A and B are shown apart, each in its own frame.
Chain A
């Protein structure tokens, strides 16, 4: 899973936090990782426990907090506005990944939730320009329709790729286990 990408760093900082006082930079990294991994509750309480003086002096932390707020209210449009910021090198990569993840999630969700959506709206939701959006939609096989002056996009339901991980022998073994348990 992609979501485990920064786990090592995360665990390291979490451990440090429990044994010593950590610096603003570590807090920034941890907060960014939580956001990337979509652990909103963790991120929220991390923000609450960061000492007040650190929050006052650190612009990045403040900005991260506003990014977090957009994620809590689940408004993608505002998120793309807030996330556009010259992030320092230690979290640049994480924030880029976060950016990509949110866009991917939004597209997947739109595919699930909409039978049709106005092009303008989708442009705002994904923060893509008209041409970029066109390419993305083409890749996803989403169709365009023209209705009065507005362009409507017809998203396609994402097909959930399902792959059977266990072999049939394995399945049989498990079933035997269940049945023998039930009969005893």
Chain B
């Protein structure tokens, strides 16, 4: 019975030493079924293979092993699996596993789903981060493992590692569909992990209160071209509404670049959130609270209640900010009544905190119980401001260079050239025809 496994080991060894990885992957794909029949014996197989020299062989064994472990009737030894994966990721040969990228991704996804509910979760962050570093071709390439990293980080509530990945803007995406091609399911998976990355990433940024970036991530998620609505997009849209209320005080329109299906179906499916936005627009806390209580079941089910509460607090701040535009001085009790706060002390506290966070510029005069609102004291003449401008310009210049580079790549892409030339010819002929038909002398 073990002869099949022996065969497998021998095959992996000879092929690895010959360096015939492409053919080897084809054979390995076929041997998955054989391997899964001998699930209990896979540990022995692993002992005979070297993680570095026979990375591909080990990869497939691990895949089968993790696949088996996810079925409920098997009692898997989780810490052992964890260590196996960790060892494999740190030792495997990046060149070799790139011949079977999709299998590598699959293994990572399985690992994630295995440990995500487990206390070991936080220790998985480093391993998964290493897995990404091993397979990606450059820092700005997105792989489908990025979504796994974000998911684990969210579950473990530890964002530092994930943020170092999220802070890098993505310029290329590693897809698996072109490799496996024939299986249309995988193309969907690519899209799924792409959307998940932006959804989870947005959630992480929201958690650390970097709302600006969070909004951008949700926006990418909902403006991804699509022919049908994905559940991930819907959830991202709900959070998009909430975050844009907190950040801008209004619901930003759905970006024009999103698919027509999305803009048509998104709104009716997130009605509670739009009601909230409308109530926010009236600037009355009373109404906002009514909507919050009325739809609280939806918000709690969507696990967005915390964000909704932040929206409610932000309205008080928005109202105070609005006062600064109309008044130069105002008594604290007037501020309280106009912003619908309980009393002058509460208003003082809000103003004090808002001055701290730089949301308004004001001075409180306790002697007379007045607040003096001021303009932004920034004169744009300090060295700090100069440094900031300089940094922003450097960033913008880098972006422009990046865009130029990408445009150049597209211009040199043979498929694009063919298409562009083809349509140009079409245009030429049609213009020709028109000028003839519209010729008045005819």
B352 touches A165 (CB 8 A): no
The number of inter-chain residue pairs (CB within 8 angstroms) is 77
Q: Which residues does chain B contribute within 8 Å of A143, judged by CB atoms?
A: none
B125 touches A114 (CB 8 A): no
Size of B's binding interface in residues, CB under 8 A: 34
- Asked if A80 is at the interface of the complex by the 8 Å CB criterion, the answer is no
Which secondary structure dominates where chain B touches chain A?
helix
A48 touches B157 (CB 8 A): yes
Q: How far is the CA of A48 from the CA of B160 in the complex (A)?
A: 15
B367 touches A74 (CB 8 A): no
B396 (CB) vs chain A CBs: closest residue: A181
A18 touches B126 (CB 8 A): yes
Q: How far is the CA of A98 from the CA of B174 in the complex (A)?
A: 46
Could you mark each residue 132-168 of chain A with 1 if its beta carbon is under 8 Å from any beta carbon of chain B, else 0?
0000000000000101000010000000101111100
- Asked if B382 is at the interface of the complex by the 8 Å CB criterion, the answer is yes
- Asked if B351 is at the interface of the complex by the 8 Å CB criterion, the answer is yes
A117 touches B355 (CB 8 A): no
- Asked if B232 is at the interface of the complex by the 8 Å CB criterion, the answer is no
A162 touches B126 (CB 8 A): no
- Asked if A19 is at the interface of the complex by the 8 Å CB criterion, the answer is yes
Report which of B123, B386, B390 forms a contact with A19, defined as CB distance below 8 A: B123
- Asked if B27 is at the interface of the complex by the 8 Å CB criterion, the answer is no
Q: How far is the CA of A41 from the CA of B204 in the complex (A)?
A: 11
Could you mark each residue 113-132 of chain A with 1 if its beta carbon is under 8 Å from any beta carbon of chain B, else 0?
11111100100000000000
A45 touches B159 (CB 8 A): yes
Within B388-442, the residues touching A (CB, 8 Å) are 390, 393, 397
- Stretch from B236-244, B258-266, B356-364 contacting the other chain: B356-364
Could you mark each residue 151-165 of chain B with 1 if its beta carbon is under 8 Å from any beta carbon of chain A, else 0?
000001111110000
A49 touches B383 (CB 8 A): no
B72 smallest CB distance to A (angstroms):
26
Q: Which residues does chain A contribute within 8 Å of B364, judged by CB atoms?
A: 113-115, 117
- Asked if A17 is at the interface of the complex by the 8 Å CB criterion, the answer is yes
A115 touches B365 (CB 8 A): yes
* Contacts A20-B123, A109-B356 given; does A118 touch B382 at CB 8 Å: no
A122 smallest CB distance to B (angstroms):
10
Q: How far is the CA of A166 from the CA of B126 in the complex (A)?
A: 39
B382 touches A18 (CB 8 A): no
Report which of B366, B386, B390 forms a contact with A114, defined as CB distance below 8 A: B366
Bin the interface of chain A by size.
35 or more
Q: How far is the CA of A162 from the CA of B386 in the complex (A)?
A: 12
* Contacts A49-B157, A162-B382 given; does A18 touch B123 at CB 8 Å: yes
- Asked if A81 is at the interface of the complex by the 8 Å CB criterion, the answer is no
Q: Which residues does chain A contribute within 8 Å of B248, judged by CB atoms?
A: none
- Asked if A14 is at the interface of the complex by the 8 Å CB criterion, the answer is yes
Q: Which residues does chain B contribute within 8 Å of A14, judged by CB atoms?
A: 160
Q: Which residues does chain B contribute within 8 Å of A46, judged by CB atoms?
A: 157
Q: Which residues does chain A contribute within 8 Å of B181, judged by CB atoms?
A: none
B393 touches A178 (CB 8 A): yes
* Contacts A48-B157, A109-B355 given; does A18 touch B122 at CB 8 Å: yes
Q: How far is the CA of A162 from the CA of B161 in the complex (A)?
A: 34
Q: How far is the CA of A60 from the CA of B246 in the complex (A)?
A: 35
- Asked if B209 is at the interface of the complex by the 8 Å CB criterion, the answer is yes
A11 smallest CB distance to B (angstroms):
10
Report which of B207, B386, B397 forms a contact with A41, defined as CB distance below 8 A: B207
* Contacts A113-B352, A113-B355, A147-B367 given; does A17 touch B157 at CB 8 Å: no
A18 touches B366 (CB 8 A): no
A19 touches B126 (CB 8 A): yes
Q: Which residues does chain A contribute within 8 Å of B362, judged by CB atoms?
A: 113
- Asked if A86 is at the interface of the complex by the 8 Å CB criterion, the answer is no
Q: How far is the CA of A60 from the CA of B126 in the complex (A)?
A: 29
B363 touches A18 (CB 8 A): no
B209 touches A17 (CB 8 A): no
* Contacts A17-B158, A18-B123 given; does A116 touch B355 at CB 8 Å: no
Q: Which residues does chain A contribute within 8 Å of B125, judged by CB atoms?
A: 18
A18 (CB) vs chain B CBs: closest residue: B126
A170 smallest CB distance to B (angstroms):
10
Q: How far is the CA of A14 from the CA of B393 in the complex (A)?
A: 34
Q: How far is the CA of A164 from the CA of B350 in the complex (A)?
A: 35
Q: How far is the CA of A91 from the CA of B402 in the complex (A)?
A: 47
- Asked if A112 is at the interface of the complex by the 8 Å CB criterion, the answer is yes
- Asked if B372 is at the interface of the complex by the 8 Å CB criterion, the answer is yes
Q: How far is the CA of A174 from the CA of B382 in the complex (A)?
A: 17
- Asked if B384 is at the interface of the complex by the 8 Å CB criterion, the answer is yes
Q: Give the 5 A-B residue pairs with the shortest CB-CB distance, closest first.
A: A116-B367, A49-B157, A115-B365, A113-B355, A45-B157
Given contacts A45-B157, A116-B366, 19 further A-B contacts (CB under 8 A): A17-B122, A17-B158, A18-B123, A18-B125, A18-B126, A18-B158, A19-B123, A20-B123, A41-B207, A74-B352, A109-B355, A114-B366, A115-B363, A115-B367, A116-B367, A121-B366, A145-B367, A162-B384, A178-B393
12 residue pairs from A and B, CB less than 8 Å apart: A18-B123, A18-B126, A49-B157, A113-B352, A113-B364, A115-B367, A121-B366, A162-B384, A163-B383, A165-B383, A166-B383, A171-B386
